Amino acid sequence: MTAAAGIDAVADEVLGEIRARGRYRRMRMLEGTQGPRMDVDGRAVLLFAGSNYLDLANHPEVVAAAQRAARDVGCAAGGSRLINGNTSLHESLEEALATFLGTEAALVFASGYMANVGVIPALVGKEDVLVSDALSHASIVDGGRLSKARVAVFAHGDAGDLERVLARERGRARRLLVVCDGVYSMDGDLAPLPDFAAAARRYDALLLLDDAHGFGALGPRGRGTAEHFGLELRQHVDIYLGTLGKTLGSFGAFVACSALARDLLINTARSFIFSCALAPPQVAAAEAALRIVEREPERRQRLAARAARLRDGLAAHGIDTHPSETHIVPVRLGDNATAMAVCGALLEQGFFAQGIRYPSVPEGTARLRLTPMASHTEAEIDALVETLAKTLASVRE
């Protein structure tokens, strides 16, 4: 047997099991600039399946910044930040992020996933306890595994259960680290951050807030979930994690923290130390987008209005989007086959809303995950509502 035949046999066996469970995935082909209207698998559609929430990925200023950086610095950093990949562009972006969020410092990572799998093991180890929400993102779960810390899970969004877990674990570990998302990426609900932060302080625990979907989109100034709740980041959150690839329309991630914590991560976060630095065009694009977020609050306001219109419109048809209260709007359909059938039917009618299945969501909670953008029109939101209502009615007959 050749090496290729051996791996193909393994692939065929595993993929057969995945297909049998209704979890087989494939990548669709998207063409055109990232925005509310694109071509998906050769069909012109309205896009309700992305995270380019403020429609900045193709903003002229963002594109121009990337072009200048590519021309002046090149298309790659050429190495890790600790060897030859640290440029003035990286330092400038980090200073801008720290200033924007009101923290002492910030540090850029290659992605949100790599930030969590680097930061968590840098903060806790086998003598410690990671206290995590039951619906924490996969990158948090994997960061906990890599850290070798004992993991204690509390009921999703339940501050009382968090307090119970903290009371049980205090004194049994060297260090406690509470980790939560700000906006939960599959349900669109918010963590009760004031209660979580208060509990962490009462039990001398560190708090890491993964605000991938809140940064830039929530709060009067776009500072995310903490600002949405009226909390000062420096007073209530020890490590703040945000992404550059969602509201900022670029790529990568960052943490905002104290200057000393930044120094710790530079020296101990393996996913930072052993990764190539972000490409200069992406770094410059992110800083340009951050300036737009600061000066154009109307983009956040439109995003919130479009999401509210979508939820209200679906509710008028008896379609439940609970527990969403943000720009992520789930429509739970239960089984995998129904979710993907509705996804396919919508695509044929000119709407791309991705079906989400296990392991991205718990078993039996397959859904459509609808994500409007600030640049969708009210008429486009209404068209999605009417088409989805009719499609669901036909599927359920």
Q: How many residues does the chain have?
A: 397
Q: Could you say which of 213, 228, 236, 327 is catalytic?
A: 213
Of 320, 395, 327, nearest in space to 365 by CA: 320
**Backbone torsions φ then ψ of 245, nearest 5 degrees:** -100, 5
Q: Could you say which of 139, 185, 275, 360 is catalytic?
A: 185
Of 397, 396, 288, 345, nearest in space to 45 by CA: 345
Half-sphere exposure of 380 (CA within 13 A, CB side): 19
CA distance 149 to 139: 15
Q: Could you say which of 90, 228, 246, 376 is catalytic?
A: 246
Q: Which residues pair with 209 in a beta bridge?
A: 180, 240
Would residue 126 show up in a list of annotated catalytic residues for this protein?
no
Alpha helical stretches, state H, the chain = 3-20, 60-72, 88-101, 112-123, 138-147, 159-169, 193-202, 225-228, 233-236, 259-268, 270-273, 280-295, 297-316, 336-348, 378-396
Would residue 236 show up in a list of annotated catalytic residues for this protein?
no
**Residue 355: its H or E element:** strand 355-356
Would residue 213 show up in a list of annotated catalytic residues for this protein?
yes
Q: Which residues fall within 8 angstroms of residue 17, CB to CB, at 6 or more apart?
A: none
Half-sphere exposure of 277 (CA within 13 A, CB side): 24
Active-site positions read 185, 213, 246
